[in-house]
Structures are given as C-alpha cells and as structure tokens.
Amino acid sequence: MLTCAQMRVFPVCLVLAAGAVGSGCTFYTACPPGGTNGAGAGASNTGGSSNQTGGNGSGSGGSPVVLGPTPTGMWVNETSNLANMPSECGNLSYVTSKPDEDMLLAGIAQHGMWSSIDGGDSWQQLGTGAGSAPITNRTGFIAFDPKTPTTYWEVGIYNAGALFITSDDGVTFQQLGTIHHDDYVSIDFSDPQRKTMLVSEHEQKQALLWSTDQGATWTEIGMNEPAEATVCTYPYVLDSQTFLLGCGVVESGDGNSGVYKSTDAGGTWTSVSPNEGGASAPLFASDGSIYWVTQFGGGMVRSTDQGDTWTQVVPQGVISNFHPSELPDGRIAAMSGRAVLLSADQGATWQVVTTDLGFDPTGFFYSSFRKAFYAWHFSCDNFVPTDGLMRYDFDYQAPAGQ
C-alpha cells in the first residue's frame, strides 16, 4: 500500500461558512507537514466524517467561504471515446481548453494529443499529418502562444521525448531537442522569435534546463538554484533575463518551498516569497497580477509587481493547490476538494459554485466557449477511467442562482 507521502493526499473539509462544514472531508493532492491537515485548527477527519469545533470556519486565521445560492447543477461525463483506451499509469494525464477557439485538448499516455470541438462529446487524435513526430509521454502542461493561436507547446514525462511544438493547430508536431522526462515549459513571449525557454526536470532538485535557440539545444542551469530550495517544478520566463521559479515539496521535509526570482537569466536567485506560492503553474490574470497557490492547501499569494513582492490573499485550508483559472469577467476559480469556488475580490472571499465532483481531481479549468467547468483525473490502471473527464455547466454571465 502506498504511504500518504507517496500518494500525496491529505484530508481537507470543504468549508461553506463560518462554523459550518460541507458533507464530509475530501482530499487534496499533497501530504500536510507535521501531520496536520489543511483545514486548520479544529477540523478532523475520522472514517469519512468531519468535526468542526471552534475557529472561524476555515482554519486558524482563515477567512470563510461565502455561502451563496446552493448549487443545483450536475457534473456530466465527457470522457466519451477516450474511456477505456489502453494506456498506463497516468493515462488521462492532462486536459485543457484552447484560449482562442472552441477546442478541448487531452493528453493520453502512449497515445499523444486528442482534441474535441463539441465540448467532449467526441474526441479525435491529433498529430496525424504527414511527418508528425509521435508523442508518447504523459502530458504535464501545454503552453499556448498568445500571438499565434495555431502554435502551442506540449511537455511531458516518461516514455520517449519530452517537448513538442505544433504550428498548425495540432495537425503535426515537431520534437524539440532530445530532452526527456520533464514537467513544465515556459517560453519568452516578450520575444517575437520565442528564443528563450525553461523546462523543469521531473521531481529533481536543482534541475532546470535553459534554451536560447527555440528549444533546439539545452543547457543545465539547475546547479544555480539555491541549495536550500526543494524541487522547483514551475519556472516562468518573464523575459530573456528575468525568471520566476515556483518550488514545492515532493515529500515533506526536503527543502524550502515558495517563489524565487532571477534577473540574470538564472545565474542567481533571490527568495521573494518564502514557503508561500510555487506549488502549481502560476496564473497571470488579466489585470496584470500573478496568483500562485501554496503547497498542502496552504492558500494563495498574489503579486502586482512582476513577482518582486507577494501578499497572501488566501489563507490555509480554503482552496486546494491546483492551478487556478480566471473567468472572462475576471473572477478567479479554484478547487476546494471536489467542488469549484469563485472569488470576485482577488481571493478575499469565496463562493461554492458547483456540486460535489464525485472523485478527487487531478486538475480543472474553465471553458469560456462552452461556459462550463471541466475536471479530470487519471488512474494507475492500464486504461483511461470511464469517468476521466467531467463537465459542469456554469454561465459566468448569468445572475447568481440562475
């Protein structure tokens, strides 16, 4: 049986309002440091039930989730023809939506990229054009070019090849370099030629790859990361000289987490948010601010000065450490266990806007074209789960309660 550290899950109760909790505790994708849970003081989990005593409803020092209209919608299965597809552990590894068109993208371990233009009702394999490089990795992230909608980059772990680019909307893919087994990619979008890139090596300390030729060749610069930092999975390129680095513990007690910044192309790093933020991909919001969640359900920090300084806007125990989303109206969406929360005030208060998902998700996102939240999960079975991808309709333009 896997230990908690190996599975990286721990119980957290979904808080609905001060002094009230949801129906039972759910699980975040991390183990809490020191054996405490992310719900803060006064919350416990025994046999699937929760007991709340004292506190303000979201843990010590936390702000409560705002209790709004009770969600009444249903999650709908959109796995469709991906269900039961032969694969491996990590099968449905990543799902997202393109920001420029009504298209969902899914990465299937050993079977490459798939797309859906009908909200998930059906899926078609990408990379079928002549000369396309085969993708067999477990997709970890997709980066979209903000100026050229048909161009995006896919990065993943295990199997053959880590990083691929498409410039024809997924008809063909080209492998970049010979790197292998990498978690995350960031590109210098301030440069029209997209020369500078960073890639993080999977669950390795002081392991960061740097390219200045669009990914053709790579240089290891991870040795320049602070020795006290833990695994830093999420590098972000602001420009060719300015990088951010998000660090989160893979297993408890193996280094300092948080956010670091470099202004000399990764030669040196400064801690700008010690032990807060850095636990998933950062969210660059439309107002110019950066949101970054903290490991172990530890909340979220925000920067308004390109990462020089950070302020905690969400305390521990309110949201899980998944990459947040921004709705077209500027509201921030985050997961709390198995439900989606929304904040209209930069994380100060939150409202539950979906019902219980029914499983512990791997990730989630919002599709503005479909006006719906999507959440997915993978398993360690050798096939895609039948409930791998679920949809929850939510019209961001509709009045509350409708």
Give tens-digit pLDDT for 78-117: 999 999 999 999 999 999 999 999 999 999 999 999 999 9
Q: What is the pLDDT of residue 20?
A: 29
- How many Cβ atoms sit within 10 Å of the Cβ of residue 237? 23
Domains and CATH numbers, the chain: 1-84+322-402 (no CATH), 88-321 (2.130.10.10)
Q: What is the pLDDT of residue 121?
A: 98
Q: What is the pLDDT of residue 64?
A: 61
Residue 6: enclosing H or E segment and its boundaries? helix 4-7
- How many Cβ atoms sit within 10 Å of the Cβ of residue 125? 12
Q: 371 pLDDT exceeds 80?
A: yes
Contacts of 396 (CB under 8 A, 6+ apart): 327, 328, 329, 331, 366, 368, 371
Rounded to an integer, the average pLDDT of 359-384 is 97
141 and 185 in contact (C-beta within 8 Å)? yes
Residue 192 burial class via C-beta count within 10 angstroms: exposed 0-12, middle 13-18, buried 19 and up: exposed
Condensed to tens digits (0 to 9), the pLDDT of residues 156-174 reads: 999 999 999 999 999 999 9
Q: Which conformational region is residue 288 in: left (phi greater than 0), alpha (psi within -120 to 50 degrees), or beta?
A: left
Distance CA 316, CA 273 (A): 15
Q: Which conformational region is residue 335 in: left (phi greater than 0), alpha (psi within -120 to 50 degrees), or beta?
A: beta
Confidence band, pLDDT 50/70/90 cuts, at residue 151: very high
CA distances from 389 to 77, 121, 174, 210 (A): 6, 11, 27, 34
Tell me the two tokens of residue 251: 């297993």
310 and 259 in contact (C-beta within 8 Å)? yes
Condensed to tens digits (0 to 9), the pLDDT of residues 109-143 reads: 999 999 999 999 999 999 999 999 999 999 999 99
Q: 35 pLDDT exceeds 80?
A: no
Query: pTM here?
Result: 0.85
CA distances from 220 to 162, 198, 238, 249, 347 (A): 15, 10, 19, 21, 36
Distance CA 334, CA 356 (A): 14
Condensed to tens digits (0 to 9), the pLDDT of residues 205-248 reads: 999 999 999 999 999 999 999 999 999 999 999 999 999 999 99
Confidence band, pLDDT 50/70/90 cuts, at residue 66: confident
Condensed to tens digits (0 to 9), the pLDDT of residues 265-300 reads: 999 999 999 999 999 999 999 999 999 999 999 999
Comparing CA positions, the residue from 309, 308, 321, 319 lying closest to residue 342 is 319
183 and 155 in contact (C-beta within 8 Å)? yes
Beta bridge partners of 28: 10
Q: 77 pLDDT exceeds 80?
A: yes
Supply the mean pLDDT for the chain. 85
Rounded to an integer, the average pLDDT of 53-64 is 39
